[in-house]
Amino acid sequence: MKTKRIGVIMNGVTGRMGTNQHLLRSILEIRREGGVTLKNGTRLLPDPILIGRSADKLEALARAHGIERWTTDLGKALRNPADALFFDAASTQLRPKILKRAIAAGKHVYCEKPVATTLAEALDLYRAARKARVKHGVVQDKLWLPGLLKLKMLRDTGFFGRILSVRGEFGYWVFEGDWQAAQRPSWNYKKNEGGGIILDMLCHWRYVLDNLFGEVKSVSCLGATHIPYRWDETGARYRATADDAAYASFQLAGGVIAHFNSSWCVRVRRDDLLTLQVDGTHGSAVAGLRRCYTQSRVNTPKPVWNPDIPQPIDFLAPESWQEVPDNAVPENAFKAQWELFLRHVAGEGGFRWNLLEGAKGVQLAEAGLKSWKARRWIDLPRLKP
The answer to whether position 158 is within a domain reads yes
pLDDT digits (tens, 9 = 90+) for 93-121: 999 999 999 999 999 999 999 999 999 99
Same domain, 206 and 313: yes
pLDDT at 385 over 80: no
Gap between the Cα atoms of 308 and 299, Å rounded:
26
The stretch 307-324 carries a mean pLDDT of: 93
**Domain at 77, CATH number:** 3.40.50.720
The answer to whether position 385 is within a domain reads no
Same domain, 126 and 148: no
Same domain, 114 and 13: yes
SS (H, E, C) 267-336: CCCCCCCEEEEEEECCEEEEECCCCEEEEEHHHCCCCCCCCCCCCCCCCCCCCCCEECCCCCCCCCHHHH
Same domain, 204 and 247: yes
Same domain, 367 and 301: yes
The answer to whether position 47 is within a domain reads yes
What is the pLDDT at residue 58? Answer: 96
**If we measure between CA atoms, which residue out of 113, 88, 99 comes closest to residue 194?**
113
| Cα of 289 vs its chain's centroid, Å | 12
pLDDT at 1 over 80: no
Same domain, 306 and 164: yes
Same domain, 36 and 156: no
Same domain, 84 and 100: yes
**If we measure between CA atoms, which residue out of 72, 33, 37 comes closest to residue 52?**
72
The stretch 276-282 carries a mean pLDDT of: 98
Gap between the Cα atoms of 333 and 143, Å rounded:
8
The answer to whether position 379 is within a domain reads no
The answer to whether position 249 is within a domain reads yes
Gap between the Cα atoms of 339 and 46, Å rounded:
10
Count of beta carbons in the 10 Å neighbourhood of residue 118: 16
Nearest 5°: phi and psi at 146? Answer: -55, -40
Given a contact cutoff of 8 angstroms between Cβ atoms, the answer to whether 198 and 221 are in contact is: yes
End-to-end CA distance of the chain: 40
User: Domain total for the chain?
Assistant: 2
The answer to whether position 380 is within a domain reads no
* Residue 215 Ramachandran class (φ > 0 left, ψ -120 to 50 alpha, else beta): beta
Rg (CA), the chain: 22
The answer to whether position 40 is within a domain reads yes
What is the pLDDT at residue 29? Answer: 98
What is the pLDDT at residue 315? Answer: 93
User: What are the residues whose beta carbons fall under 8 Å from the beta carbon of 10, sequence distance 6 or more?
Assistant: 18, 22, 23, 27, 48, 49, 50, 51, 87, 89
pLDDT at 318 over 90: no
What is the pLDDT at residue 219? Answer: 98
Lowest mean pLDDT among 110-124, 236-250, 280-294, 307-321: 307-321
Same domain, 311 and 200: yes
Same domain, 166 and 193: yes
Same domain, 222 and 156: yes
Same domain, 43 and 101: yes
pLDDT digits (tens, 9 = 90+) for 218-234: 999 999 999 999 999 99
The answer to whether position 305 is within a domain reads yes
**If we measure between CA atoms, which residue out of 20, 5, 99 comes closest to residue 333?**
20
The stretch 119-142 carries a mean pLDDT of: 98
**Domain at 326, CATH number:** 3.30.360.10
pLDDT confidence band for 384 (50 / 70 / 90): confident
The stretch 206-222 carries a mean pLDDT of: 98
Domain that holds residue 55: 3-141+333-354
The stretch 44-49 carries a mean pLDDT of: 98
